[in-house]
Structure 1
């Protein structure tokens, strides 16, 4: 996986060197040529780099554009070289990255926020074993109350928190009674997640339970159909949601590079097994859909 991510970075640099736009980088095709999928490559890139591929390309493009500006090249020529149809569109993108206008940079040489070229390296860690198991499951349905929310990487998502708080206690009990198959109990489901896993993009969050694929769904509940397949299940325990979020990072840096599995499209599911009354600590299972490489 590390080699694949470095090849993606190399392709980006090659295209930028000839003035190709970011839209011309076909991550799916590149991933397929290297034996994986675009979905898995994007998720791993985002997890390890802390930004999606598209954001990295934007930052690198504006880093190179700043050098061209300082050398005195024509503004429209630079804008076209980096994929912008007008100097106005280029100017907005330039300011968004550098926090300064192109005129200021041309005149004063800065300020600049440069994006260095990424290099992914594998470090030997693994001193703390990850508690994981692989489970093959038939088709199921996830039923409950769904809402569209923005993706937030760190800390509590206030939109999800408000959604759960809006449900009366009786509804939580009703959902628990409907739980009929693994993963058991009340579930926190994230579906339709942007493959780049970009902060602020929207996803579908469902607070609910798992039932058999042919189970009847009450009219007042939303449903997500989940096809059969393999799941990697990780157990976490500690401060919530910090322990869960650190497990996400460890999976990208330790588990996936060391195991012959990759992410496949599908919802990620958090099953809360035990929790403190104030939810500051919890023991959870994180279910991720995977396939053999």
Structure 2
């Protein structure tokens, strides 16, 4: 399926369920990527988290209901997923700057969050340095962290801070194998597309590549080994200050490169490679359409 069509179908699913339950798993299945990667992709493209977009769309529609219907405020609150009128009123005032009751009692200025629509956006001046490689099976040794997909964007930076504090990174530096994918690796494993509310996040290094000259470095004590199959990877240069350098790559990848590339996403984790002197790579597995 066309990538842009998938994204717009995911937005349509959200619209159809603004007054019901919105499943992140269902969204990710429609888009054809993991929950975590969809959340991250969405935030790069829309410049706001997915949860904030959904909340703002609901509050936008709630304002229309207040103006155009005689429904009770408590009923509108429940309709858009709020457990009480008080919680709805707080959220409504935070977004619109006025209480729900004020909408009916006087003329007020309200905010609107329109429905998103994704389109291909090709800008020739923003070039991307990348290569497509058929890469052999490889292994990674590292530390696995169980993370809730709903909090992953906030939790993962803290995982890296802790890894530097607790000596994990020092162990890698002292025994650093010079294999690709290179550098310190951040790997988000979401399981099968949309099947879990949890994901695995791995900090590690490549310990073996399935080529004759490569020596297998077994996982250090307290670490685990993870295997990834032979696959086609789009490898993007993301050099520069973090996190803006990788964020720019993701935004261009999803809005420009992927829609016009003739590829679609493979069901494999995205790998971020952190090397010295602000050099980074982003590995994204793809398959020909």
| TM-score, reference length from structure 1 | 0.71
Pairs within 5 Å for 1:243-262: 243-262=245-264
Where 1:286 maps in the other structure, the secondary structure is strand
Structure 1 match to 2:286: 290
**SS at structure 2 position matched to 1:121:** coil
Quote the offset at 1:143 in angstroms. 1.0
Secondary structure in structure 2 of the residue aligned to 1:161 = helix
Report what 1:234 is aligned to: 236
Please say if 1:64 is aligned against 2:61: yes
Secondary structure of the 1:124 match is: coil
Ranges in structure 1 where 5+ consecutive residues have no aligned partner? 276-281
Distance in 1, Cα, partners of 2:173 & 2:250: 29
Query: What is the CA–CA distance in structure 2 between the aligned matches of 1:175 and 1:43, rounded to whole Å?
Result: 32
| CA RMSD across the alignment | 3.9
Q: Which moved more, 1:59-68 or 1:20-29?
A: 20-29
Question: Partners in 1 of 2:170 and 2:162 — Cα distance?
Answer: 17
Residues 1:21 and 1:88: Cα distance change in structure 2 (over 3 Å) = farther
Deviation at residue 74 of structure 1 after TM alignment: 1.2
Residue 230 of structure 1 aligns to a residue in which SS?
strand
Identify the structure with bigger relative contact order (alpha carbons < 8 Å, sequence gap 6+).
Answer: 2
Counterpart secondary structure, 1:237: coil
Once the two structures are TM-superposed, the CA of residue 110 in structure 1 deviates from its matched residue by 5.1
> Is the Cα–Cα contact under 8 Å of residues 189 and 267 in structure 1 kept in the other structure?
no
Partners in 2 of 1:56 and 1:28 — Cα distance? 16
Secondary structure of the corresponding residue to residue 248 of structure 1: helix
Which residue of structure 1 aligns with residue 163 of structure 2? Answer: 163
Q: Which one is further off, 89-98 or 57-66?
A: 89-98
Secondary structure of the 2:58 match is helix
Q: Distance in 2 between matches of 1:21 and 1:147?
A: 28
Question: Does structure 1 retain, via aligned residues, the 8 Å contact 2:142–2:202?
Answer: no
CA distance in 1, matches of 2:251, 2:53: 19
Change (3 A) 1:173 1:52: closer
- Counterpart for residue 279 of structure 1: none
Q: Is the 8 A contact 2:185 2:271 kept in 1?
A: yes
Distance 2:6 2:233 in 1: 23
**Are residues 225 and 100 of structure 1, via their aligned partners in 2, closer, same or farther at CA, if it must alter by over 3 Å?**
farther
| Contact kept? 2:130, 2:236, Cα under 8 Å | yes
Partner of 2:173: 173
Mapped partners of 2:62, 2:207: distance in 1: 50
* Aligned-partner SS, 2:279: strand
1:89/1:124 CA distance change after superposition, 3 Å: same
In the alignment, is the contact (CA less than 8 A) between 1:160 and 1:205 conserved in 2? no
Contact kept, 8 Å, 1:126 with 1:254, in 2: the verdict is no
Residues 94 and 147 of structure 1: CA distance in aligned 2, closer, same or farther (over 3 Å): same
Are residues 1:37 and 2:37 paired? Answer: no
Q: 1:260 to 1:45 in 2, by over 3 A?
A: farther
Return the alpha-carbon distance in structure 2 between the equivalents of residues 169 and 28 of structure 1: 32
Number of residue pairs aligned between Structure 1 and Structure 2: 271
- Normalised by the length of structure 2, the TM-score is 0.72
Provide the C-alpha distance between the structure 2 equivalents of 1:20 and 1:145, rounded to a whole number of angstroms: 38
Q: Quick one: which of 122, 125, 133 aligns to 1:124? A: 122
2:213 maps to: none
Task: Verify the 8 A CA contact 1:144 1:222 in the aligned structure 2.
Answer: yes
